[in-house]
Every structure is written in C-alpha cells, then in structure tokens.
Structure 1
Amino acid sequence: MARFQHTVTLAPVPRHWFESCVLMLHDLAESLEDDGARLRLPDGRPLPELLLGEGRHLQPGARYHPESDEDGEPDLDATLTVLAWDRRRETALEIVTLGDDSPNPTHMACALRLTSVERPREAELSGKMRASGGKWTKYISGSGRLHLDLGTWWPSAAGLGRPTAPPVTGTLHHPLTRATATVVPRPAKDGRWRVTVKVRVTGRSFARLLLPVAMAVMGRRARAAFAEALDDAAEAWNGQVPVLLRKDMERLRLELVESLFNTDEEHKPEAPR
C-alpha cells in the first residue's frame, strides 16, 4: 500500500456564485433551438461543431455528435447523450468516444450527474474505458468515480464543524491497482481554502507484491511528484478563478457564447501580407 497527502491553498468560490453559474449554463442550453440537426442561439446564429442526431433537444435520450471537419456530417465516433434534464431533480449527461486505431480499439464513456440545479446538492463524475484486440488490453482498461457533496463542502471550507465524511471522495479501479482519494477543505487565516488531498493506492494481482518494492525505491520521488502536481493545479486555479469571480453571469454568458465562434478564427492561418 502507498499513501500520499498534500495540502494546497486555494482562492475560495462563493456558493451563490457557483449556483448562479450552474443556472446560467442551464439557461443557455435551454435557450438553444433545434432547426433539424442544427442548433441555433436565440439571435439565430447556428451553434458550431455540434449536431443533434437523435431525439428532441435536452429531452432524455437526445443524442448529439460533433461535426466532422471533412464533410460537415456528424462524427459518429463521439456521442453526447442526455440521460436526465430536470432542474428540480437531476441533470445527467454521458459522453462516449470510440477509438478505432488498430490493433486495440477503445471505448470510453464518461457521465456527469448533478442533483438539483436550483439548489445543487451533489455532483458526480464517472468514467470507464475498455479496450479490445488482445489479452493484454485489459491492462489499458479501468474505471473511476469522483463524488462531490456540495451540501458539506462550503460548511467545511468555512470551518463550521467537521464533516462526518469527506466532501469529495474518489476511486480508481485498474486490473493492477486500486486507488481511493479524499479531499477536505478548511479555512485559511486569510479567508482562502486550505484543501487537503489524501490518496491511498493498493496493488492488485501481481502488482500487490511489486508496489511495496516500488515505493521503497521511488517513494520519495513519487510523493514529491504528487505534491508538485497539486501545487501546479493550485497555481493555475489561483491565477484564473479570481478573474472569473469578478465577472457577473451575463458577462460570463456572453464570453462563453463568443468563445464558441472564436475557435476557428484562432486556428486560421494568417493571410499573406
């Protein structure tokens, strides 16, 4: 078994801002109108790079595909499916991608669930990947789950008692390893969040014998890499989140919409002078 623990300091996100952002994203999605396979914004502009392939917009069972770069037809190797869309109960989306690169084609599925949009209580992200094409492909397969209890995150971050369970829990399953993670926020003296991440890794199959040896040899370096990765993520968070918090929801919505149309412009080659 291997254990890792590191604490970072993060800029806080007010709960009301987060909840307003969730509502804004739902409002934006619901403002789209389907014109056959094409989705249009309220101002009539077609939404780029996403096509409705099956069902009614935002109804359970609706399936969307990215637009192929070559012929403008749906790319069936990637699918976004609406599993649930109910503001008072649950919003759930699933993304499935197929990789047909021989000799080991892959199938990856990721699902995002949010309980109650009007007052978010729980969020969960889960994923599963499997490969085919040979007996060794099971070693590039696995599954994972990350659960966030929104009802206990902000009280814990404010120091209002200690949660009976960590606000964030995660698991990762692989044929050779199993990892579990917890994330707990506490208040820092300057009003920011002190977030502690703990990870426990256990070996499976023949890796059960190899993991202790690997940690004896590489343990210090592995823990340093773990801490460095979290510090880098915290630096990125602290550089970007305060900028977002200074914007109201209308400005964020406008910037989000415009970013959908600026992608192509950024990749266009410069015109000859």
Structure 2
Amino acid sequence: MVSVRHKVVVEPVPYPRLVDALAVIRTLVEESQADGQRLVLPDGQVIPDIRLTQGRHLRPGSVYLITDVDEEEADDGYAKADADADGSRTTQGADASETVQITVREWDHRRAVRLELAVVDDDMNVELDATLKSPDRPDLVEISGRTRGDAAARTLFEMAGRARVRLDDWWPAAVSDRTPPSAPASARLDHRWIRADVRAVPRPSRDDGRWEIHVTVSLRGRRLLRPVAAAVLTVAAGRIRRSVVQTLDDLAAQWNDRVPRLVAMNADQLREALLSKP
C-alpha cells in the first residue's frame, strides 16, 4: 500500500455564499419554461446549449441534452436528437465531440435534487448519479459513478467510484477547531487492479482565515492482483507520491484562481455569468 498525506491552503467559501449561489442556480432553472426543446427564461432569453428531449421540464424522468453545436449549422440554435436502440442519444447536423445527457430523478429544493449524468465522447463514457440533500440548506452531497473506455482501452479506463461530502461537518471544521467524527469529505475509486481511498479534513488557517485542507490518499492492490499491484506500488511509490502532491497543488491553485472571483459576485453577476457562453 502507498499512503500520501499532503496539506493544501485554499481561499474559503462562506457557507451563506454557497447557499446564495445554489439559490441563484435553482431559481434560474425553475424560472425557465420549455418551448419545444428550448428552455426559455421569463425575459425571453434562451438558456444556451441545452435542450429538453424527453418528459416535462424538471419532472422526474425528464431528459436534457447538452452538446457543442457548430453555430453555423444551428440556424434554430439546436439540432435534432434521436435515440439509439440502447437509449443513448446522438446528434444530427451538429459537429459535437462530447455529449452530456442529464436525467432528473428528483427535484425538490426542500428535500433533495438528484440527477443522473451520462457524458459521452469519442474515447470514454462517464455515468454519474449525483444527489444534493436539502438544497435550501445543503448538508450532504453524494456522487457515484463509473467510467468505460472504448474496446481498445476498456481494461485501462473501466472504473467505479463514489464520493461523499458532509457539508454540515465541513464548515464547522473549516472555521473552528471542532474535530469532526470522521473526514467530512471522502471518496473511493475502484479499478480492476487498484483501489484508491481519499479523505479530506479542513482546518482554519492560523494566519489569514483561509482553509488548510489535510488530504490523505491511499492506494492498494485488489483481488487476485493484490500481490502484483503491491510490488508495482512499492517500486513506483516515490513517483506516485510526487504525482499526487503535484495534482493536489494544481487543484488548489485552480481553486484559488477561480473561486474568489465567483464568491465576490452578487446574485445578478452570477446569473449573468451562468448564462454567458465562454
């Protein structure tokens, strides 16, 4: 087994700002109405790049499709979607390298929002089931899913995983010395050969009010390949540790570059940013 412990320091997100941001997103979605496949806001603005392809808007079972559509070919803004025999969806008349299908399983801002996502590109498919409990006062995020590569890379890219963030434990630990009963954020990723476990615990920085996030990453072999994987992990332990540390540092740098700008936005600015195309 290889275990890596590392600390990153990131800019904080006040819990009220999270609540406000989720309210902006929810209001934006709930204010929209379906006009055919388009989603239109009360002011007539079309929500870009997303179409309702099945069911009634925001009802359980409704399906939405997000694609990268070539604007020269999208005279109406959208291309038609057809269902394949296995239930997946493709686009006609659009040069899209990636397709995201979103299925609503539950939409209740008091209880939970649960979405299924299927991301398809040329080399890999990703399936996710994401749940946010009590969206008005969010306290738990749970995500599970799997990835599948094409036939040539199936063994390499086929994985399953799950992640859980207890928000009601994260913020008290991040802003005080309160010790949570267990890591507020955890994840597990299972590959055919290797299992990875991740734990993250926030602490307030003593100097400037930022968050110190203490991360532990553990890797071990699985099943019959455990002895072989153990030998490989032992040989590559140094390189693995450097790679994990570099990845965590890069993620922290991206967070510190982007998140403060989002936190500084008021509701109108965030709404505009969400509706603007990159």
Say whether the fold is shared (TM-score over 0.5): yes
Is the aligned partner of 1:239 residue 2:268?
no
Tell me whether 177-186 or 200-209 shows the greater mean CA deviation. 200-209
Q: Is the 8 A contact 2:193 2:229 kept in 1?
A: no
Give the whole-Å Cα distance in 2 for the aligned partners of 1:121 and 1:238: 23
Q: Give the corresponding residue for 2:85.
A: none
Q: Give the corresponding residue for 1:221.
A: 239
Measure how far apart 1:244 and its partner are: 1.8
Q: Give the corresponding residue for 1:47.
A: 47
User: RMSD in angstroms over aligned alpha carbons?
Assistant: 2.1
Is the aligned partner of 1:91 residue 2:113?
yes
Give the whole-Å Cα distance in 1 for the aligned partners of 2:66 and 2:142: 24
Measure how far apart 1:139 and its partner are: 4.5
Measure how far apart 1:160 and its partner are: 3.7
Task: Choose which of 151, 173, 176 in structure 1 pairs with 2:168.
Answer: 151
Is the aligned partner of 1:140 residue 2:157?
yes
Give the whole-Å Cα distance in 1 for the aligned partners of 2:261 and 2:166: 25
Give the whole-Å Cα distance in 1 for the aligned partners of 2:47 and 2:6: 42
SS where residue 228 of structure 1 aligns? helix
Task: Choose which of 62, 69, 81 in structure 2 pairs with 1:74.
Answer: 81
SS where residue 215 of structure 1 aligns? helix
Counterpart amino acid of residue 201 in structure 2:
V
- Corresponding pairs, count: 255
Give the whole-Å Cα distance in 1 for the aligned partners of 2:234 and 2:156: 24
Q: Is the 8 A contact 1:51 1:74 kept in 2?
A: no
Unaligned ranges ≥5, structure 2: 83-88, 91-98
Q: Is the 8 A contact 2:40 2:47 kept in 1?
A: yes
Tell me whether 39-48 or 136-145 shows the greater mean CA deviation. 136-145
Counterpart amino acid of residue 171 in structure 1:
R
Q: Is the 8 A contact 1:159 1:187 kept in 2?
A: yes
Give the whole-Å Cα distance in 2 for the aligned partners of 1:74 and 1:66: 11
Q: Identity of counterpart residues, as a percentage?
A: 35
For residues 11-40 of structure 1, the C-alpha deviation after alignment (integer angstroms, 9 at most, x for no partner) is 111000011111110000111111111111
Q: Is the 8 A contact 1:59 1:82 kept in 2?
A: yes
- Structure 1 stretches of 4+ with a deviation exceeding 6 A read none
SS where residue 118 of structure 2 aligns? strand
TM-score calculated relative to the size of structure 1: 0.86
Counterpart amino acid of residue 26 in structure 1:
R
SS where residue 48 of structure 2 aligns? strand
Tell me whether 80-89 or 245-254 shows the greater mean CA deviation. 245-254
Q: Is the 8 A contact 1:144 1:170 kept in 2?
A: yes
Task: Choose which of 109, 124, 132 in structure 1 pairs with 2:142.
Answer: 124
Measure how far apart 1:219 and its partner are: 1.4
Give the whole-Å Cα distance in 1 for the aligned partners of 2:218 and 2:135: 32
Measure how far apart 1:99 and its partner are: 5.4
Q: Is the 8 A contact 2:50 2:64 kept in 1?
A: yes
- Matched ranges for 1:103-118 at <5 A: 107-118=125-136
Give the whole-Å Cα distance in 2 for the aligned partners of 1:231 and 1:99: 28
Q: Give the corresponding residue for 1:170.
A: 187
Unaligned ranges ≥5, structure 1: 264-273
Q: Is the 8 A contact 1:167 1:184 kept in 2?
A: yes
Give the whole-Å Cα distance in 2 for the aligned partners of 1:15 and 1:131: 38
SS where residue 221 of structure 1 aligns? helix
Q: Is the 8 A contact 2:109 2:134 kept in 1?
A: yes
Q: Is the 8 A contact 2:126 2:145 kept in 1?
A: yes
Give the whole-Å Cα distance in 2 for the aligned partners of 1:15 and 1:216: 41
SS where residue 245 of structure 2 aligns? helix
Give the whole-Å Cα distance in 2 for the aligned partners of 1:233 and 1:97: 22
Measure how far apart 1:107 and its partner are: 4.4
For residues 130-163 of structure 1, the C-alpha deviation after alignment (integer angstroms, 9 at most, x for no partner) is 45758x8345312111100000001011224210
Measure how far apart 1:43 and its partner are: 1.5
Q: Give the corresponding residue for 2:18.
A: 18
Q: Is the 8 A contact 1:139 1:176 kept in 2?
A: no
Give the whole-Å Cα distance in 2 for the aligned partners of 1:55 and 1:118: 25
Tell me whether 47-56 or 115-124 shows the greater mean CA deviation. 47-56
